Structure 1
Amino acid sequence: MDLNCKTFGQGPALIILHGLFGSLDNWVTHARKLAESYSVYLVDQRNHGKSPHAEEWDYDVMAEDLYEFMDQRGIVQAHLLGHSMGGKTVMRFAGEYPERVDKLLVIDMAPKHYKPHHTAILKALTALDLKQIGSRQEADAILAKDIPQASVRQFLLKGLGRDEQGGYRWKFNLEVINRKYEEVLKNVAIDFPFEKPSLFLYGEASPYMDPADFGLIRELFPQAEFVGLPGVGHWIHAEAPEDFLREVHRFLAG
């Protein structure tokens, strides 16, 4: 699959993968700053952003997409950074192709199975009739009935684009995500431990990571380092951008 990508800077390769409902556009600001030291590749995962839509959607195929992406661009080895769903993709890739990974950075995600927590969002997005929407403001007002958090709606509406007729469409493949949502919740299958340096950076106020997960993570990633940011939630890079960049630079330079 030919994944959509934007590149920044020169230096050792650093590939960044976004989370569910996101796209590479969520990471442009950070990429420009990291580009002072690295060749940064921002990638839209399948069924997201401007990358192709496909019926197959699980961590096995997303890891294979990443492998193909690196081969297409002649990237022999790279630092991998993944947030949320992207974190599970890079963990799966590191377990399958450790020789292609230099250092691994997982942002606010564990390799465990998660309980459904996007049900209300999926229901609201599915119920929104885009053919009847005249503006983003109108879409926001309708979504607000089921999604009260303005920051969540703002993030989701970044995925709202225009179709060829000038109407609205979701950039992410809502139909497949809705149907195969369980796939993104599953634990990451790793047959052999990944023995290279790995940073698990998480928000201490986030429900996605818990110190109780550290034992499982160390079994699969023996060199795992854990860094929690106090008072920060799941969107670490947005909520605490300076702390996020400081920890990324520290880990990669070490």
Structure 2
Amino acid sequence: MEAQHQETSQYVSLQYLDVGTSNADALPLIVIHGLLGSADNWRSHIKAWQQTRRVIAVDLRNHGRSPHAWGMSYAAMAGDVLALLDQLEIERAHVLGHSMGGKVAISVARQAPGRVASLIVADIAAVAYEHGHDAVFAGLRRLEEGRPKNRREADDLLAEHVEERATRLFLATNLERGGENTLELRIGLDQIEAGYEDIIAPPAGSQPYTGPTLLLRGANSHYVNQDNLETTRNVLPSLRVVALKNAGHWLHAEQPEAFQEAVRLFLDAQENSDSAGK
């Protein structure tokens, strides 16, 4: 009989990176990674953005250094982020999310619009997606079973299921040295797999977020298309779409400078608009 796991009712206390200037004129930027990512993946971008504003990059539940908990609904994950904003006494911030993190960001904006000054969504639409991670999960399970002693062994194990080396390198960022001198996954893989139907579902929330919104998409990515853009505009009516050339779904890694600049220009425009309105 398949085990049933009840979603955690209380919010998870997220781990996070908190860096940057204490510039009182610039609102903080909250950065939310995608599925099987972590705050660590964003360090190079944070280094660029922290020159002008405070940047908080979170580890979502079951990711990075954050606790493991049953339940991967967008309502729950958005609640975790809002609880962190309460903890840090941040009343209002810009929110950026990539892929699954983009859906979390949309959910935060829909559930607490007054706390989101602007929204940046990276290569994801506000719709349900098809299953697409079977090979990845199989590779991660093979890692658990194989208990590799080094990165080369880990890559060989992952390669049994995952062909793309770039994907394998990304997945390997979830490995850490364990007690028996083997590499172990730090993610809550059981919880993530159990919650996968919620992960591919649409964002949480019942009302549109009407604040300024930028969708950065990879020009070569299939995640955002004309059909799901129409649905996304119903959820985010102030949406502006910018495509980054020579980039796919991992646009922030494939075109880092263009991604950083697009984010910077958008945030500057929001704050200049706010200043003009005062």
Conserved 8 A contact 2:70-2:195: no
Counterpart-to-counterpart distance in 2, 1:220 and 1:142: 41
The residue aligned with 2:251 is 236
* Counterpart amino acid of residue 84 in structure 2: F
**Residues 106-153 of structure 1 deviation map (CA, whole Å, 9 limit, x = unaligned):** 000111000011111111211334554221111101211221111000
Amino acid at match of 1:3: L
Q: Which piece of structure 1 moves more, 211-220 or 160-169?
A: 160-169
Between the aligned partners of 2:187 and 2:56, the Cα distance in structure 1 is 20
Of residues 38, 41, 62, the one that matches 2:77 is 62
Please tell me whether the aligned partners of residues 199 and 225 of structure 1 are also in contact (alpha carbons under 8 angstroms): yes
1:38 CA displacement: 1.1
* Worse overlay, 235-244 or 139-148: 139-148
SS in 1 for 2:162: coil
1:166 Cα deviation after fit: 3.1
Query: Gapped runs of 5+ residues in structure 2?
Result: 1-11, 270-278
Counterpart pick for 1:9 among 1, 17, 20: 20
Corresponding residue to 1:94 among 94, 103, 109? 109
Contact 2:142 2:158 (C-alpha < 8 Å) held by counterparts = no
Give the stretch that moved more between structures: 94-103 or 133-142. Answer: 133-142
Matched AA of 1:190: G
SS in 2 for 1:215: helix
**Structure 1 vs Structure 2: percent identity of aligned residues?**
37
RMSD: 1.2
1:37 aligns with 2:61: no
| Range with bigger deviation, 185-194 or 113-122 | 185-194
Structure 2 length as normaliser, TM-score?
Answer: 0.88
Secondary structure class of the residue paired with 1:99: helix
Residue 187 of structure 2 aligns with which residue?
172
Q: Which runs of 5+ in 1 are unaligned?
A: none
Deviation per CA, 1:23-56, whole angstroms, max 9, x where unpaired? 0000011001100111000110000000011112
SS of the residue corresponding to residue 158 of structure 1 reads helix
Q: CA deviation at 1:182?
A: 1.2
1:227 to 2:242 alignment? yes
Tell me, what secondary structure is at the counterpart of 2:168? helix
Residue 209 (structure 2) pairs with residue 198 (structure 1): no
Instruction: Give aligned pairs, total.
Output: 254
1:26 matched to 2:48? no
Question: For residues 119 and 172 of structure 1, what CA distance do their matches in structure 2 show?
Answer: 17
Q: Name 2:118's counterpart in structure 1.
A: 103
Rounded to whole Å, the distance in 2 between the matches of 1:131 and 1:158 is 17
TM-score, structure 1 length as denominator? 0.96
> In 2, are the aligned partners of 1:17 and 1:24 still within 8 Å (CA)?
yes
* Contact 1:236/1:244 (<8 A) preserved: yes
Query: Is contact 1:200–1:225 with CA below 8 Å preserved after alignment?
Result: yes
